[in-house]
Structure 1
């Protein structure tokens, strides 16, 4: 076997350019296959983690319909003023399986500290927001029920906002920041949370008591929506249908009229992302299949060429006693080695590329050693299959004809 391997390596080295071109298709196929699958798995893992960040068993009822913004983010609610506190009361009184909930208002505004001014998303909510949305404070504490009742001028900064205003987030506590004409005392800083499923950067948010915003700042009687925490994810569909029926009744929407609200479960958004990723996976599989097919044709072509250029070598080996099975094994080994090297190099480069992608895009690091090994082994098998015909031709060379003519 070692002798066969030496002969195979020497033969491939003698035709470097042709061997490289034959490897290229398999190389690109393995690169595309392992790369696309790894990235799609990383994105699925990220979607799962983002779903967890939204909060356990979360149902969201939002004012208006979503709009898509540049950068792939989704804006919910906007300036829709039809979602009243009476709607929130009706929802919480009639939706089954509700564990806890909080209405909220969102607004994009600038917040400043001395000469530092940053744009942020204000989220006004009740004191139970951290438990509803699984969002614990890293530094300091969240505002209390008493803060909500007293309409206290306090706020909690997102991690990025705290860094932009104070350089060190720990220095933000008890500082006074300015929001419009209102001074707010910083009582907490959130941990780094990244983007949610809607594409919103949660580290650029600022949290204030709902009553402070609605009564002291904007003097409004409408909200952007309500976060509802259910007892179990098995209750999501029943709760969702109940919320739709309640909101349509509250807003006197006729059967032939469209909703002026949106009811969304966290799993719905995750499912949409998963479906999009499945499409990417299918396209990647198609492109890698084409590359593998081209690679197989390349291996077939160069092996046929090698058989033609080595007819004398084959004839001499057969004349001195080499069996047909030995010639067959030799050429199958060469084709498998040729394809296997291309596949292995493609898998190695794929790991390097996806590592860079994970690092730059801040994706979770997901690697599948079995997939990488299978891609390399599969490349060898593909090469053996592609080289089967040339190997059969080589093993059936007419010895007398070769020795007479060459």
Structure 2
């Protein structure tokens, strides 16, 4: 027995990868090297943007099929269709409560710290042409327009437009239809399951070059905008990053504790995905891998398929914190007084406008322009102040959004009895990346 144990131990030791072979270590090294290249050789760093963009494009081409296949398989496998309605309702309730708290939290922090006080910036001195494109895009942000956009022009159009909500809408309809088809739909369900496994294999292949994409994205960010831009608005950036960190540790930490798990263990379990979100400055490219890991952790496929894609539009905690903080910061910086009633109106406007944001780089800036334009109190030209640092702010927004959706997935799954408790505890205690090909 001892010999067998020793032999097994030797095999395990031989199978242990060196530290530099770990995927998250490679991504972390790539991010550091990218920042160094961008700092030392700004022109070269700025020219490396295609490396990050190429990875994002390759991953995004597989996102729509994976969402469709995962949601269809999850719904068609349900014996009780009422369960889907309950999961959807609980998800929306959680999202609305979470984002409302995030908006109020951001408002509280920016009023207490007042990072814009004393800047005395004149809106007339800012180049409004820099933000014209964002203001133009923000005019399309409306509740009716957003809801109508959920319905694609054609079934296939949902995939060609790469619109997450359109794909989710089509997948819901198809999944319900397949479930109602009964036993005759079993071959189709088996095909859906096989196709989803193939697409996850593709994502696993693409993730092998993730460090290259993270390197290019970080080199571009630092090379394009530079350290000087960060130092100019360091007060606001530090306040925002601290607010996001506090919200995750305290706010989401309390939710996790009430649900019976640790926020720190969940973050450790998702460390590779979080590093990619940081390096690529957005969470959308990580969605397929994110869904696979939450399923591997014990959350049911139907819950993951509904909560995560919906959360990428409706549960943007980081974006909500940013919206209220940025709007009040600009008011402070331009010496524009904002009363409590005006700030309440701001929160209401942000709550509506944030639903039209997507988890991609730049969306927070567009929604900010829409919010300020709707409130009509803070000079719209003042958002030019934040243009240079938005890429850096996007990283904090994306990380907070990502963690918030991860917590929501676990909470809703446990709420509905769709969480394998033993498997979840084992996954958090022994975090290993799921095999996407399995």
TM-score tier by shorter-chain length is under 0.3
- Asked which structure has the greater RCO (Cα within 8 Å, sep 6+), the reply is 2
More helix by share: 2
Please tell me whether Structure 1 or Structure 2 has the larger radius of gyration of its CA atoms: 1
More strand by share: 1
